[in-house]
Amino acid sequence: MSDFKLEFAARAYGKVNLHLGVGEARDDGYHELATVFQAVDRPETVTLRVNGETDRVLAGSVVESMSTTFHVNEPDEDIDGPNNLAWRAVDAVVERYRDRAKRHAVDLPRVRLFVDKTIFVAGGMAGGSADAAAALIAANEYLEYWTSTSLTDDDNAEIASSLGADVPFCLMGGTALGRGRGDKLAPMMARGTYWWAFVSQKEGLSTGRVFEYLDELRHNDPALVPRLDTTAIARALVSGEPATVAGVLHNDLQPAAVKLHPNLRNTLHEARLQGVLRAIVSGSGPTVAILCENEEHARKTVDALTSTVAYEGFAARGPAPAAHSLTAAT
């Protein structure tokens, strides 16, 4: 029994904002958004592992430990703890099951959580949200195996939204319009394939601080009005032409991100020197998303920009699919 091992694994993908319009701050502290997401095929993989004669618990967290393998620069802080979105997603699934089952809930085996990370940490590409989305799927499979029950789609959607505004999109994948905090989603038609080069520097940016600074800048610059109309990007995506899409890419947060992280201005300039279709800040930064003509152009752009120690980068293609299970059928 000590050699027994059971795993539940799932994968979700990072994102780029093709359009990010930021409205006024709401009473709940969030900003009203009009954003167009596109998933890119840079994966985050989450595995829940039950080993040997592990303890079983009827209350509290089922997560015994967490370990992340980094294929990008490792952050200075330890992210493998209960505040990690993947850990929280597993706990949220289990707590929702216990709430539904009440006194009929069964004790569940402890799990070890493993994350294979290929998306920049705190880079504006929803790496943590992708971890949460993958963990939600894996945790539901774990729950179904041990209890013969799983959560409803509505339960999972509610949990995803509670974990973070980008988590619902990381579950959905593809290309979508996001309203509200970005978590009210509607799929969008998107023809064609889009090749991106993504580059980042180790120094991150706080998403909350970028939003706050945008508010400050708008007090003194009437030109920084919210751009909440997504008609132009919707039409461009129907064309299926990367050059047409490049012409209407937009990010309201870019001015704030560039002022908070001045090196971004240099990164954007260096990207344009590679003859790319367009370079913009991805989300709240500090990643720069560079739309290229094709795969070869994207990979050459990454090679050129990462030839110094200043940047790390990768090429990725969009749109990518929804989050999905990797667990072999039994």
Helix (H, G, I), strand (E, B) or coil at 52: coil
**Structure tokens given for 190:** 């998107």
Length reported for the chain: 330
CA distance 284 to 299: 24
Per the CB < 8 A criterion, the answer to whether 259 and 213 are in contact is yes
**Dist. CA 2–CA 188, nearest whole Å:** 49
> How many angstroms separate the CA atoms of 202 and 188, rounded?
33
CA distances 110 to 55, 72, 90, 94, 198, Å, are 6, 29, 11, 11, 37
Give the whole-angstrom CA distance, residue 175 versus residue 186: 9
Is 153 a catalytic site residue? no
**Distance, CA of 204 to CA of 190 (rounded, Å):** 31
Selection from 61, 53, 60 nearest residue 2 by Cα: 53
What does the alpha-carbon distance between residue 169 and residue 129 come to, in Å, rounded to a whole number? 9
Contacts of 23 (CB under 8 A, 6+ apart): 31, 32, 33, 34, 226, 228
Dist CA 24 CA 34 (whole Å): 11
Q: Please tell me the distance from the alpha carbon of residue 20 to that of residue 38, in angstroms, as a whole number.
A: 12
Q: Helices in the chain by DSSP H: which ranges?
A: 85-101, 127-147, 153-163, 167-172, 207-220, 231-239, 242-246, 254-260, 263-272, 295-305
Selection from 188, 204, 136, 208 nearest residue 167 by Cα: 136
Q: Which of 91, 131, 155, 166 is catalytic?
A: 166
15 is catalytic: yes
Give catalytic residues, as residue numbers.
Answer: 15, 166
